[in-house]
Amino acid sequence: MIKENIDLNINPRDDFYGYSCGGWQKSHPLKPEFSRYGVFDDIAEKSRKQVKELIEGLGEHPEAKQRGSIAQKIHDIYEQGLDTERREREGAAPIMPVVERIQKMDADTFTDTMAWLNRGAGGGFFGYGVGPNPADSSVNVLHVSECGLSLGDRDYYLEKSERNDTILQAFHKYVLTIMGLVGYAPEDAERVWESVIEIETEIARHKKTREERRNPLLSYNWMTTGEFLSRFPGIDWRGIFVGSGLKMPEELNVSSIKFIEWMSGYLPSLPIQKVRDYLVLIAISEGTGTLSEAFYEADFELYDRVMSGTEEKKPLWKRAMAIPNSMFGEAVGQLYVEKYFPEANKKYMKRLVENLRSALGKHIEELPWMSDTTKQKALEKLNVLKVKIGYPDKWKDYSEIDIDPERSYNHNILKATEWFVQDNYNKLGKPVDRDEWYMTPQTVNAYYSPQMNEICFPAGILQAPYFDINAADAMNYGAIGVVIGHEMTHGFDDQGRRFDKEGNLNEWWTPEDAERFKELTDRLVEQFNRVEVAPGVYANGLFTLGENIADQGGLRIAYTAWKDAHGDDNVEIEGFTPEQLFYLAYASVWAANIRPEEILSRTKSDPHSLGRNRVNVTLRNLDPFLKAFDITEGHAMFRPEDERVIIW
Average pLDDT value over all residues in the chain: 95
d(CA 407, CA 97): 13
| pLDDT tens column, 446-502 | 999 999 999 999 999 999 899 998 889 999 999 999 999 999 999 999 999 999 999
Q: Return the pLDDT at 63.
A: 85
Q: Return the pLDDT at 566.
A: 81
* Contact (CB, 8 A) for 157 and 201: yes
Q: Return the pLDDT at 496.
A: 95
3-state per-residue secondary structure call for 266-323? HHHHCCHHHHHHHHHHHHHHHCHHHCCHHHHHHHHHHHHHHHHCCCCCCCHHHHHHHH
Domain definitions of the chain by residue range:
2-30+363-384+471-643, 94-167+198-270
d(CA 171, CA 177): 10
| pLDDT tens column, 600-611 | 999 999 999 999
Q: Residues of the chain with pLDDT > 70: what percent? A: 100
pLDDT-derived band at 617, boundaries 50, 70, 90? very high
* Contact (CB, 8 A) for 481 and 352: yes
**206 three-class SS:** helix
| pLDDT tens column, 109-162 | 999 999 999 999 989 999 999 999 999 999 999 999 999 999 999 999 999 999
| pLDDT tens column, 287-342 | 999 999 999 999 999 999 999 999 999 999 999 999 999 999 999 999 999 999 98
The residues pairing with 222 across neighbouring beta strands, listed in sequence order, are 253
Q: Which DSSP category does 527 fall into?
A: H
User: In the CATH scheme, what architecture does the domain 94-167+198-270 have?
Assistant: Orthogonal Bundle (1.10)
Strands 136-145, 251-254: pairing is parallel
- Assigned CATH for 2-30+363-384+471-643: 3.40.390.10
